[in-house]
Structure 1
């Protein structure tokens, strides 16, 4: 009787562990500190992401000026994402995290000051946004490159899932918090909350161990380091394929530029916006969040290349289904499935980048990852908008989803090493 009593909880725990997110990486003090600081940074960045366009619109009354926030945010993200990755490979990553975190906090504080004082300069807001995003672009690849130095390789998929949970949590709840706080505390307070939170978590970054280059050579990074990073990635077929398949998925398949028109013309929203638009924007991160919260199984998958390809094909099929949907709730379900598939792909692509790249190149590969993740959807906004204007939203979304499947499968014919890529633990089991 007692034996059965002990056995049942053990089986229950095993079953639960295969479903609920794997928290083992959080037992590692360094990763736990990194994760906490990353969550605060993610939520805070969303507060600023909501506050800046709102302030620009309040100052100008023009959506054209609001559109400039995308340019002022994207350009430094592209430039400093690549350069920041190169810097992360040549200096102590802990120190770089501290400097970039301080930079983000200081620019958030100045954003608060100009809003609180009512300076009223839209160009000052846009310049401060660009500076903020430059520091953020250095911070993100550095933060991601640190993970493999803190977590054993067998736990990298679980660590990637935890980092994905943090990013998705920020994407879902950051805007909700901004919407709740703004009417009560005022727009400027969003910047202040971001500043206070960033300063409060600096201790977590400060307590990380020193993380100098494994070569022991600390030096300045220049353009040659960025070029060397591209050369390295071009010769590593697995790394190259991880970027190629993500670009295909995002550029051909990301339909968010279609949401405003579909919400009104397909799903019946009033002209000023309504329920449908909110659900369309929320569906992708909701699906992603559900996957991260039930990702206990991710470390058990050895064929990580296959997992990425299958996930992207599911993404493409779900986006095609979304394009054909005439019911709002069916469209939301398809988008949630797509968001879940995209998160599975992201978890394994991150794990592959962490394990397949050498430490001296890990910052640069993470910088390229940041650029692809940031730039791909913005290119998709342009391409989907053009196609929808000429052929309609259904053709743009459905055609894009089907094109994702065709192009990803074709890329595996050209880069088969990615399809056969296995996690290191799985390779050792097979040998």
Structure 2
């Protein structure tokens, strides 16, 4: 029993009432959020029949993520972080309601949908760095890896339920109901952030402008280990995130309907399913000292898994859609588990190595990388699939992840050697 307890997730952070309230609210909210994540590309593909248009969500999401992610991180180093969370949560509720309205009216231009997506990503880009910067203020540093694993697990659990529910409901109810559910579930998060204490920034100075952003980037440049944590994640997500291909793959390789269906839902749910499994058995993450090496291993596993996904898609015609769908889903599950561990380590490294006065700005960079990398991947994969096909695009991306990660590890041996003490008192 003692060995089993060492494997399963460390739940000690849930003893903190503020963290527990936010975490429980996320159980409700992430399901609704993932309905929108699935509904937007599904609606675009249903209206256009083009993965290139689906890939444009990457471009329309990337610009506000970069601009407002960096500015939002600077804002979180000046303004009370509870206030920011309340305002941005209200903004997310409003944009989700607009998604519902455009779907309910129907017949609107796809560019309006992409514009709403950009607006939503702007609010998200300010909200997420602030929420991450809050965590070290309410959780002891030694529990940060466990807290990050719990957050990732619940987020990815919602990412499983969202696609499965969306895949079943889209053909029956249409897109508007999914957006409406997302709107309603966001009120759970609003209730949780309103009840947080005031969260003033220690050592806050200056205004959240360009100079503040530059200061945060300068700080990052002076910490090459943290900088490399962003580089390897960009490699993994830019080359290895094939989600823009899922609608086309589900329809053409695995025989699903153009507007959704089971294969579509399984592909979208597979990576989160792997992340949840990795989170359930994440008790070991708090005991890892060589976190840099662990990140490299996890990203290499991600690259191998995505390569396997592309191979399974390519063999669907020859070996049959059903067995290859199973193989494709299993490879994505493996990739999701590896990505969960990588994310927990990288975020914990960032939180423990930065002072409170710059945490918001560094978390802004983090959200730009974590969310921006897949947006770049959406554009690149969508365009590449139109030229060489979905199978070659996915498999080639996985190979590039492996090659790029090996090159990065050889170029930055200090990152591979990065070690953090179990008590989080000293970093070497």
Normalising TM by the smaller chain, what interval? 0.7 to 0.9
Alignment size in residue pairs:
415
2:164/2:266 contact within 8 Å kept = no
Query: 3-state SS of the aligned residue for 1:297?
Result: helix
Equivalent in the alignment of 2:357: 360
Q: Distance in 2 between matches of 1:415 and 1:24?
A: 34
Name which of 276, 280, 303 aligns with 1:289. 276
Deviation at 1:251, TM superposition (A): 1.9
Equivalent in the alignment of 1:400: 397
Gaps of 5+ in 2: 316-322
Q: Distance in 2 between matches of 1:280 and 1:200?
A: 28
Q: Distance in 1 between matches of 2:247 and 2:182?
A: 29
Q: Distance in 1 between matches of 2:171 and 2:308?
A: 37
Aligned pairs (5 A) from 1:59-70: 69-70=57-58
Greater gyration radius: 1
Change in Cα spacing, 1:257 to 1:71, as seen in structure 2 (3 Å) is closer
Deviation at 1:240, TM superposition (A): 0.4
Equivalent in the alignment of 1:8: none
Deviation at 1:131, TM superposition (A): 2.4
Q: Distance in 2 between matches of 1:223 and 1:430?
A: 30
Deviation at 1:182, TM superposition (A): 5.3
Equivalent in the alignment of 1:90: 78
Q: Distance in 1 between matches of 2:403 and 2:82?
A: 42
Deviation at 1:369, TM superposition (A): 1.5
Change in Cα spacing, 1:211 to 1:125, as seen in structure 2 (3 Å) is same
Change in Cα spacing, 1:388 to 1:106, as seen in structure 2 (3 Å) is closer
Deviation at 1:84, TM superposition (A): 0.8
Change in Cα spacing, 1:262 to 1:181, as seen in structure 2 (3 Å) is closer
Q: Does 1:311 align with 2:298?
A: yes
Change in Cα spacing, 1:135 to 1:395, as seen in structure 2 (3 Å) is closer
User: What whole-Å deviation, never above 9, does each CA across 1:286-342 have from its counterpart, x for those lacking one?
Assistant: 111111122122111111111111111111222233333435133332221111111
Q: Distance in 2 between matches of 1:320 and 1:70?
A: 21
Worse-matched range after superposition: 269-278 or 154-163: 269-278
1:154/1:424 contact within 8 Å kept = no
User: What whole-Å deviation, never above 9, does each CA across 1:369-400 have from its counterpart, x for those lacking one?
Assistant: 21112222232344445555665655544443
Deviation at 1:76, TM superposition (A): 1.7
Change in Cα spacing, 1:331 to 1:52, as seen in structure 2 (3 Å) is closer
Name which of 225, 237, 244 aligns with 2:231. 244
Change in Cα spacing, 1:177 to 1:229, as seen in structure 2 (3 Å) is same
Deviation at 1:237, TM superposition (A): 0.9
Aligned pairs (5 A) from 1:331-410: 331-384=328-381, 395-410=392-407
Equivalent in the alignment of 2:12: 24
Change in Cα spacing, 1:194 to 1:262, as seen in structure 2 (3 Å) is closer
Instruction: Please report the TM-score for the alignment, with normalisation by the length of structure 2.
Output: 0.85
Equivalent in the alignment of 1:4: none
Query: 3-state SS of the aligned residue for 2:341?
Result: helix
User: What whole-Å deviation, never above 9, does each CA across 1:107-156 have from its counterpart, x for those lacking one?
Assistant: 3334445555x386446554443322211111111111111111111111
Q: Does 1:81 align with 2:78?
A: no
Aligned pairs (5 A) from 1:26-425: 26-52=14-40, 69-113=57-101, 118=105, 121-122=108-109, 125-180=113-168, 187-215=175-203, 217=205, 220-259=207-246, 267-269=253-255, 272=258, 276-325=263-312, 326=315, 327-328=323-324, 329-384=326-381, 395-425=392-422
Gaps of 5+ in 1: 1-11
Query: 3-state SS of the aligned residue for 1:425?
Result: coil
1:33/1:208 contact within 8 Å kept = no
Change in Cα spacing, 1:410 to 1:130, as seen in structure 2 (3 Å) is closer
Q: Distance in 1 between matches of 2:334 and 2:184?
A: 36
Instruction: Please report the TM-score for the alignment, with normalisation by the length of structure 1.
Output: 0.84
Q: Distance in 1 between matches of 2:48 and 2:68?
A: 31
Q: Distance in 2 between matches of 1:110 and 1:382?
A: 24
Q: Distance in 1 between matches of 2:62 and 2:55?
A: 11
